Chains A and B, each alone.
Chain A
Amino acid sequence: MPEILVFATLNGLVTGLLLFMLASGLTVIFSMMGVLNFAHASFYMLGAYFAYSISLWFGYWTGLIVAPLLVGALGALVERYGLRRVHQQGHVAELVFTFGLAFLIEEAVQFFWGPETRNYQAPELLDFPLFTLFGQEFSAYRGFMLAISMSIFLGLYHTLTRSRVGLVIQAAITHPQMTAQLGHNVPLIFTMVFGVGTALAGLAGVIAGPVLTTFPGMALGLGSIVFVIVVIGGLGSLQGALLASLLIGLLQSYAIAADVGVPDLLAMLGVEFPGDHPLDDLWTLHLAQVAPVLPFLLLVLVLVFRPKGLLGKRE
């Protein structure tokens, strides 16, 4: 039992912090634009594909550095020459724009890399068990993912709360016009934040690609969960995004690890059903099978009981 708990917690942290790398950018960008960026997870996918292609020529480590930079530059261009113009047409136009962009990126990925899964591998350097506990191995690559996302979180937190740039960003989020009237170049700050946010999504793609597989559907799968996180945490709240990311990561991880299901519950109650019952699938359901649904279940519960999210301030 303790080994299951330890590994489920570690894996939950890996997933949770990875999700936070996406959710943090999404939530800060939402605070600025007032609109959810539906293409955010597409930048995550681009990160994985860029890193894959770069790794074929220059190895994994070059991809780790260069791919997020490329994705961030692309994100900054999208904000500067796309979103900023569309913004004048109102929120609906912006929303449709990011929707279109998500489809465009997915089609582009299929066009250049094909529809099948790409064999993007973790570097050999990290292909060893970091430690063995209770006879189970924890791979060095997962430890590496944990270290990267932890340092990103600390760096982000420090930049936003301690540095002058962070102060200007916080000010521009609540009162963009006043911030500009104090002499700060707010449009440039918005472009920078968009660039850094998409670069973080790209970095998440780079380090998650080898583990969660690199294929054209990867944006859609993770994207919906990231939206769930941002809504559960409270739109625009960075602390909320962290809390919800860890919550979802751990919840899923525990659900998969806990080998319990309806049969155990029924056995506890002393009830038994014949194996050929038409609703047999229901009686044999295991918690691990419903794990992917849990985030959405949590979303519904949060929306019903606390519509502004766990740490959100606005309705």
Chain B
Amino acid sequence: MLELSGLHAWHGKSHVLQGVELEVGRGEIVSLLGRNGAGRSTTLKAIIGEVEPHGSIVFRNKQIAGRKSFEIARLGLGHVPENRQVFPGLTVRQNLLLGMKPGAAAGRWNIAELFAMFPLLAARAETPGGVLSGGEQQLLSMCRTLMGDPEMILIDEPTEGLAPKLVEQVGNLLLEIAARGVAILLVEQKRNIAMRISQRLYVMGHGQVVWEGSPDSLARADAVRAEWLEV
């Protein structure tokens, strides 16, 4: 479904991505692990076109490197950024409505159902997004992207700074997304969540993928964890 090869990207003069190679299959949950600065968020931004990519990004058999963000989104690729980017002056409901793409038919998700899944959001339907708590904004940001009925979703640090109860809700939503056949490329700091829900994992270091494998094999690979993950 998604295949990166020889992906490079720069922030100003610093060479952040140095030839990333990875792939995600249809409906698969894949996690991208690594320390801060390893290039995980930049990989997601390069895929969606927020950072200029050099190299090959193939999504649903189409080369998307160099395309505009809105075109990539319309091909069925969603991005939930680390800072959530909730529209502060618009209500929760309006935020969700904006997730729907212009002229698209009804998809896998709708507002009523998402509200039923998250009564927390339903109760605040007419509240401006800017006054929600961090956890509520995270759920809203994910639900908003789902409203666009993506085939694959890139999620950056969804549980960062959340209370344990909301971490659980976010985890459940991730499983529900995958259950409906939507592929996920997840960047996650909390390794236990990534290990629990992912089918495969990549470990990044210095702008490259340095290890690839299943959750079980990572649990056994003490050297990899020590060199690339543990602080």
Interfacial residues, chain A to chain B (CB-CB below 8 A): 164, 167-168, 170-171, 174-175, 177-187
Contact = CB atoms under 8 A, between A and B. Distances in A.
B158 to A, nearest CB: 15
Contact of A170 (B72, B90, B144): B90
B98 A181 contact: no
B98 A167 contact: yes
Contacts of B101: 182-184
A185 B81 contact: no
Contacts, number: 61
A182 B48 contact: no
B191 interface: no
B27 to A, nearest CB: 21
A175 B85 contact: yes
A186 B78 CA distance: 16
B98 A179 contact: yes
B79 interface: yes
B145 interface: yes
B98 A174 contact: no
Given A167-B97, A183-B102, A184-B101, 15 more contacts: A167-B98, A168-B98, A171-B87, A178-B81, A181-B48, A181-B69, A181-B79, A182-B73, A182-B98, A182-B144, A182-B148, A183-B101, A184-B70, A185-B102, A187-B68
Q: Is the interface of A mostly helix, strand, loop or mixed?
A: helix
Interface string B99-140: 101101000000000000000000000000000000000000
B109 to A, nearest CB: 13
Contact of A181 (B50, B89, B90, B104): B50
B121 to A, nearest CB: 17
A167 B89 CA distance: 10
B97 to A, nearest CB: 7
Contacts of B50: 177, 181
Nearest to B95: A171
Given A174-B87, A175-B85, A181 B73 contact: yes
B15 interface: no
B180 to A, nearest CB: 19
B87 A180 contact: no
A44 B137 CA distance: 42
Nearest to B154: A181
